[in-house]
Amino acid sequence: MATALARSDSPRDAVARGPKRLCFTPAKPIITAPRVKKLIIQMPCLNEEGTLAVALKALPRTVPGIDVVEWLIINDGSTDRTIEVARECGVDHIVDLRTHHGLARGFMAGLDAGLRAGADIIVNTDADNQYNADDIPKLIEPILRGEAEIVVGGRPIGEVEHFSPLKKMLQKLGSWVVRAASGTNVADAPSGFRAMSRKAALQLNVFSEYTYTLETIIQAGQKNMAIVSVPIRTNGYLRPSRLMKSMRAYIQRSILTILRIFITYKPLRFFLWLGTLPFAAGVALGVRWLWLYNEDPTRARTPSLILAAILILIGVQLWSMGVVADIIAVNRKLLEDIQQRVKRVEYGRSES
């Protein structure tokens, strides 16, 4: 018993000795190398043997604020020497689609390949050397400063000599419509000269098979991405546009693209406005029928009453479609969120 008491420490003995001192060995600082910033410049190509070498020769290999610059082309079913010319010019990545899929599909294939290659910023330009490649540093500057996720190069439409007056007017009108539909302030919506961050590239989905230019801007605006426009320069005319085969077809496809994207991202608003027209017309006819019936009850005016009922029913049905489409849009947003998470895992690192 005495031995046990001798080994134990009383509170008085502990106070006499003072508090125990704890010694910490400072940990070595963890030094992480700064992540390399990579820029990939992509070009969708369809039989560009004659102009591709000129366009590639103008591309930069060094850009301020960027550590690595790589080139990527998307061969959209070319039947000439496009791929051979690309290899001879030192292109780093070639995406061969084998058959023709269209400009929009080629653009998305390029984004996918660029993300897989570890791009932090992707610049899209045309293989016809339409855009001045010296403006690429200006194009990516808002992204490097953290001010934007997408930057669209605005051409001086009024100064482009090979644009007809009608085309200039339609380009400006189309850009105004896209600005209204997207809530953005992009000066030149049809411009294919644009830069996007990795984060933006992960979020973009193009449904159209025709073109990506209008759809991506409207989509970015509806998703509240930061998108800006910067003025750029253009080069001389090398070949006619393959996208705009006729002015009428281009206008029709552009209108359909804008409507489709607006319905996809704002279905409730679209169907509410669409249903209001027949509903209002039906109510007006109903009021007119009541007024005429009070004036002369002997005449039934059944056709007017039937038409009013049909128009009111059409309006209500369109509103109902809007509610259903809005519920479906919620599911689409959830699926897009899942898609982004899958892409982050698939591409190997975060977009930040």
Residue type, 222: Q
What DSSP state is assigned to residue 24? -
Q: How many Å apart are CA 333 and CA 328, to the nearest integer?
A: 9
Q: How many Å apart are CA 38 and CA 44, to the nearest integer?
A: 19
* pLDDT tens-digit map of 200-227: 999 988 887 777 888 889 888 888 899 9
Taking alpha carbons only, the member of 113, 41, 185 closest to residue 105 is: 113
Its pTM surpasses 0.85: no
pLDDT exceeds 50 at position 239: yes
Average of pLDDT values for 59-70? 94
Residue predicted with more confidence, 248 or 194: 194
Pick the CATH number of 38-246 from 3.90.1150.10, 1.10.10.10, 3.30.720.200, 3.90.550.10: 3.90.550.10
> Nearest 5°: CA angle at 148, between 129 and 69?
45
C-alpha atoms less than 13 angstroms from C-alpha of 244 in its C-beta half-sphere: 15
Whether the Cβ atoms of residue 237 and residue 161 lie closer than 8 Å to each other? yes
pLDDT band of residue 179 (cuts 50, 70, 90) is: confident
Share of the chain above pLDDT 90, in %: 45
* pLDDT tens-digit map of 74-99: 999 999 999 999 999 999 999 999 89
pLDDT exceeds 50 at position 158: yes
Q: How many Å apart are CA 201 and CA 150, to the nearest integer?
A: 9
CA–centroid distance for 82 within its chain: 27
Q: How many Å apart are CA 276 and CA 322, to the nearest integer?
A: 12
Domain regions of the chain by residue span = 38-246, 267-343
What DSSP state is assigned to residue 262? H
